[in-house]
Structure 1
Amino acid sequence: MDAPAKHKNHDIYFVPGLFRGLRVLEILAAEEKPLTVSEIARALDVSRSSAFRLIYTLKYMGFAESTDDGRNFKLGARVLNLGFSYLASQDIITTARADLEDLRDETGISAHLAILEKQEVLFLDCVQSRSGFLSNVNVGTRIPAHASPLGWLMLSDLPSRELAARYEGATFKRLTEKTPTNTEQLLHAVSQAAAHGVVVSQGIAEQGGCSISAPVLDRNGKIIAAIDISGPASAFEAERMESDYVSKVRAAAMSISRRLGYVA
């Protein structure tokens, strides 16, 4: 994640202890498994005693929990309260929900709503298919924007120069063989997404998966989110791909945009 610009009084205002505590939460979330105090200390590059005090404080407040053996630690339930409070504050979720449900019902495929945060796609809502082809994407899931059709659409609102600067020196984690591995490839993918206004994916973000994505616009015509229908390739009917699915995803994205004040 890009470092934010420092205030001129950064050294006075900055609270190192708070920074390290929040970094512990990020580390526990990224690993997706319980960690020992020593592992957390190494990740933070601090002493074991410092890491223990941070963990103790987070555990006391409910933001961290110890496993049954008491030696490993994971995120606590209180973290979810913060996450859901944030998500609940986003009006776009309420605005988009009915259209996502209609899209799911019309296509039979799980529908998702996502926003762009720095270099990541953050999923705000998931309306699961009523069939057996359930989505493996949950609310709060994050994936690299450079490797996602949703990300390409949302990045397409940035000028090429700004997009190139955002990814200067970045590591392009590869999810599939179709993942862009450098800035030039990403710029091409983003420009294609902008030109078509929709991305039909066959295994771009996940091997064996399919998706159709479209952007959501605000009243000023700015892309503020994107939606898709996605799932395993077997959930899609080939004959409906271009003729039916694409038009329905476009229509749902436009309906949400209109609810947000966009006028074509």
Structure 2
Amino acid sequence: MNAAKPSDKNHNVYFVPGLHRGLRLLELLARSNETMTVSELAQRLELSRSSAFRLVYTLQYLGFLTTSDDRTFQLGARVLNLGFSFLAKQDILQVARRDLEELRDLCGISTHLAIRDGLDILFLDCIQTRTGFLSNVNVGARLPAYASPMGWVMLSELPNRELIALHKEIPFEPFTEGTPSGIAELMQLVAKSSADGYVLSHGVVEQGGASVTAPIFDRSGNIVAAIDISGPQSAFDQDKLDSFYIPAVRDAAGKISRRLGNAGN
């Protein structure tokens, strides 16, 4: 969970540590591809086993966790209800869906819509290709913004000083050879995405993958989201990257931006 800096002088009085630990536990399970035992949760959260057990018991009682026969835990249906309630309030979903579907049909590649949530990008929609390779990105999935072309596009909204401050204490863990190694390289990639108005990537998030990404602007000219087409490099006609795929993605992003009231894209 991306911790915000305390904004109130009474932070230590108002802050609820137990709630914080419970939310950290939920986010840990959300990021994990596997179920986890109480002991594993305690170790990852640096808590005693008894503290972790009380958190798990409470969250399971409330329906936020479920357990299996091997006494491992995963997110429960009540978490999904919260997530779906959040997604239902994102007007951009309704605005973008038609254009994402048309882009998918035009290119024959899965399309995605994401927003930036602090240090992460959060996927709001995935329109699966009708043929070929299906996307392995699910709605609600997160990626570090520094390690994703969609993140670079959305981080270009920030001034350099804010970009540096945001990543000051963040380790740049490599996903692939295309992951920036530090803030200086990230700033170069962000600046290039801003100058070009898109990002064409090869093997950045996954080895052998490719994507074309473009920003979505609101009526005030702010970048509020990003879309892409992404899949294995074999799904792309490499001779048509500049002449077809990039213009198609930018055109779809422009349509969505105009639906949001932006006159300049």
Matches within 5 A, 1:84-103: 84-103=84-103
| 1:177 Cα deviation from its structure 2 partner | 0.7
Deviations 1:39-68 (CA, angstroms, capped at 9, x unpaired): 222333333222222111111111111111
In the alignment, structure 2 segments of 5+ residues that lack a partner are: none
CA distance in 2, matches of 1:50, 1:183: 36
Q: Does 1:226 align with 2:226?
A: yes
Q: Which amino acid aligns with 1:4?
A: K
Equivalence for 2:250: 250
Map 1:163-182 to 2 at 5 A: 163-182=163-182
Aligned residue in 1 for 2:119: 119
Distance 1:241 1:203 in 2: 15
**Whole-angstrom distance in 2 between the partners of 1:143 and 1:45:** 23
Match of 2:128 in 1: 128
Question: What is the rounded CA distance, in whole Å, between the counterparts of 2:131 and 2:189 in structure 1?
Answer: 32
Q: Which moved more, 1:27-36 or 1:184-193?
A: 27-36
Quote the offset at 1:241 in angstroms. Answer: 1.2
State the 4+ residue runs in structure 1 displaced beyond 4 angstroms.
none
- 1:198-213 counterparts in 2 under 5 A? 198-213=198-213
Which residue identity does 1:27 align to in structure 2?
L
Cα deviation, 1:116-158, whole Å, max 9, x if unaligned, reads 1111111110000011221111111111111111111111111
Give a deviation string over 1:242-262, Cα, whole Å, max 9, x none.
101111101100000000000
2:20 aligned residue: 19
- Offset from partner CA, 1:95-134 (integer Å, 9 cap, x none): 0000000100111111110111111111110000011221
Q: TM-score of the superposition, structure 1-length normalised?
A: 0.95
**Deviates further, 181-190 or 52-61:** 52-61
SS of the equivalent of 1:181 reads coil
Letter matched to residue 128 of structure 1: Q
Partner of 1:190: 190
Q: Specify the alignment match of 2:81 in structure 1.
A: 81
List per-residue Cα deviations over 1:158-198 (Å, max 9, x = no partner): 11121112111320011111111011100111111111001
- The CA distance in 2 between the partners of 1:255 and 1:160, in whole Å, is 29
Taking the aligned partners of 2:162 and 2:91, their CA distance within structure 1 comes to: 28
Q: CA deviation at 1:2?
A: 4.0
User: For residues 220 and 247 of structure 2, what CA distance do their matches in structure 1 show?
Assistant: 23
In structure 2, relative to structure 1, the CA distance for the partners of 1:44 and 1:205 (3 Å cut) is: closer
Shift in CA distance, 104/49, structure 1 to aligned 2, threshold 3 Å: same
1:8: which partner in 2?
Answer: 9
Letter in 1 for 2:59: L
Alpha-carbon distance between aligned partners in 2 of 1:144 and 1:235, rounded to the nearest angstrom: 25
3-state SS of 2:124 partner: strand
Which residue is equivalent to 1:107? 107
- 1:33 maps to what in 2? 34
Q: Secondary structure at the match of 2:224?
A: strand
Aligned partner letter, 1:24: L
Distance 1:260 1:54 in 2: 42
State the number of aligned residues.
Answer: 263
Segments of structure 1 that go 5 or more residues without pairing to the other structure are: none
Determine the C-alpha separation between the residues in 2 that align with 1:109 and 1:46.
44
The yes-or-no answer on 1:54 pairing with 2:38 is no
Name whichever of 7-16 and 217-226 sits farther off.
7-16
Read off the aligned partner of 1:45 and give its amino acid letter: E
CA distance in 2, matches of 1:175, 1:44: 23
Separation of aligned partners in 1, 2:198 and 2:67: 45
Counterpart mapping for 1:139-150 below 5 A:
139-150=139-150
C-alpha RMSD of the superposition: 1.3
- Mark the CA change 1:2 to 1:37 in structure 2 (over 3 Å): closer, same or farther: closer
Give the residue type in structure 2 aligned to 1:38: S
